[in-house]
Amino acid sequence: MSGGARVSASRVPAERGAPIEFEFEGEPVGSYEGETVAAALLAAGVPAFGVTREGDARLPLCNMGTCYDCAVTADGERLVRACLADARPGMVVERNEAS
């Protein structure tokens, strides 16, 4: 690539919303207003958002709401796409059981 200016991601200041906390599988997860559930769980090092019928870990694949691999149960609602759902203070998030 020639002629174009390149910007290093490490030099771009990140602005975050206010700190919030929600619950995943009974444990507190720190997040920020405006951050998705998937981003918060990945940042927290959560190893799996759910499991397949075969018992394999499910994690976000597309991060744009198409694949449903990031689906969780949020405040009792099943199959919520974590990559599209904004984290909210006090939200209760659980893994979906394979069906």
Check: pTM over 0.85? Answer yes or no. Answer: no
Task: Tell me the C-alpha distance between 76 and 5, whole Å.
Answer: 47
Instruction: Kindly report, residue by residue over 81-92, the tens digit of the pLDDT.
Output: 999 999 999 999
- pLDDT band at residue 97 under the 50/70/90 scheme: confident
Mean pLDDT to the nearest integer, 4-18: 74
Domain ranges of the chain: 18-95
Mean pLDDT of the chain: 90
Specify the DSSP element, H or E, that contains 32. Answer: strand 27-32
Amino acid, single-letter form, for residue 62: C
- CATH architecture for segment(s) 18-95: Roll (3.10)
All residues at 6 or more sequence positions from 39 whose CB lies less than 8 Å from its CB, including other chains: 31, 87
pLDDT > 70 fraction of the chain, expressed in percent and rounded:
88
pLDDT of residue 2: 55
